[in-house]
Amino acid sequence: MMIQKTIEKQRKKDLSHIDNLADLHREIRLVKARIKNHEQLLAEHWKKLPAETFKLVVRRVVPFYLNNKVLDKSWGVLSSAFSILSGDKSNTAKSVMGAAKKLGLFTAIRAGYNLFRKKK
């Protein structure tokens, strides 16, 4: 859609100022200069593409991963707590503490990441 609008704009460009061969050659030079400038910009953007892609992936994947880890560890704490309440006391205190430590760790990492992201 955007390409069509650009092409339409280019077609609608007023070329009525071209009266002779010298004007035509001047317009050709201007068009070639614009094309060269656009090619240089595209080359610069192409070089930046891998770094920008990596940044985007990190911005999207890291919060998703941390949120899932926090939810997973929360479920581990809850299931361990329910097993204590149901009467199964074999190593449940250790499993609750281990799950709580992991939950705290991932929550702290997520909070640190969110703070880092907000400062930018």
Instruction: Give tens-digit pLDDT for 5-56.
Output: 665 665 667 777 888 999 899 999 999 999 999 999 998 888 888 887 877 7
Domain boundaries defined on the chain? 20-119
Cα 30 from chain centre: 37
Q: Report DSSP letters for 4-66, one per residue.
A: HHHHHHHHT---TT--SHHHHHHHHHHHHHHHHHHHHHHHHHHHHHHHHHHHHHHHHHHHHHH
pTM: 0.40
Nearest to 24 by CA among 33, 16, 13, 34: 16
The separation between the first and the last C-alpha atoms of the chain, rounded to the nearest angstrom, is 33
What is the per-residue pLDDT for 37?
93
**At 91, is the secondary structure helix, strand, or coil?**
coil
Cα 106 from chain centre: 21
Lowest mean pLDDT among 30-44, 59-73, 77-91, 95-109: 77-91
